[in-house]
C-alpha cells in the first residue's frame, strides 16, 4: 500500500524525510533530516551532516515529505505509540 496523506499515521515512518515545524524544545525546532528509528515516544532523525538527533513525538509538530514529494504536517501526539501497534489500530479522521 503506497504512503498517502490519508494513511501516513498508520504507515511506517522510517526512511521518510522530516522537518520539525514546532516543538516545546527550542533546539529541536527546524530540525531537518531522515527518520532512521522510532520508539514509543521518540523519532530518531539523521541530519544532513550525519548526526543523530532524538525528537519527542508528543512535544512536536512534524512536516513529513512523502516519496512523491507531497508534504503533510502531523501533530506528534497522533504518533505516540509503539510503531507496530500504531500501524494496526484504527485512528479517528484527522
Please write the tens of the pLDDT for every residue from 9-57: 888 899 999 999 999 999 999 999 999 999 999 999 999 999 999 999 9
| pTM: predicted TM-score of the whole model, two decimal places | 0.86
Helix (H, G, I), strand (E, B) or coil at 70: coil
Q: Evaluate whether residue 94 is within a structural domain.
A: no
- Domain total for the chain? 1
Which burial class, exposed, middle or buried, applies to 85 when counting CB atoms under 10 A from its CB (0-12, 13-18, 19+)? exposed
Q: Does residue 48 lie in a domain region?
A: yes
Buried b / exposed e across 3-15, counting CB within 10 Å, b at 16+?
A: beeeebbebebee
Q: Indicate if the pLDDT at residue 93 is higher than 90.
A: no
State the pLDDT at residue 34. Answer: 97
Per the listing, cell 532512521 goes with 36
Residue span of the structural domain in which 18 resides: 8-83
CATH of the domain at 67: 2.30.30.210
pLDDT of residue 37: 96
Question: Per the domain annotation, does 88 fall within a domain?
Answer: no
Backbone φ and ψ for 84, nearest 5 degrees, come out as: -70, -30
pLDDT on residue 17 = 97
Domain presence at residue 14: yes
Is 92 within the bounds of a domain?
A: no
Amino acid at each position: 500500500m503506497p504512503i498517502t496523506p490519508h494513511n501516513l499515521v498508520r504507515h511506517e515512518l522510517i526512511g521518510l524525510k522530516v522537518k520539525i515545524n514546532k516543538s516545546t524544545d527550542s533546539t529541536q525546532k527546524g530540525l531537518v533530516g531522515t527518520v532512521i528509528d522510532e520508539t514509543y515516544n521518540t523519532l530518531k532523525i539523521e541530519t544532513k551532516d550525519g548526526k543523530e538527533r532524538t525528537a519527542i513525538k508528543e512535544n512536536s509538530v512534524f512536516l513529513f515529505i512523502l516519496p512523491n514529494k507531497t508534504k503533510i504536517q502531523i501533530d506528534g501526539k497522533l504518533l505516540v505509540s509503539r510503531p507496530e501497534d500504531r500501524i494496526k489500530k484504527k485512528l479517528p479522521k484527522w
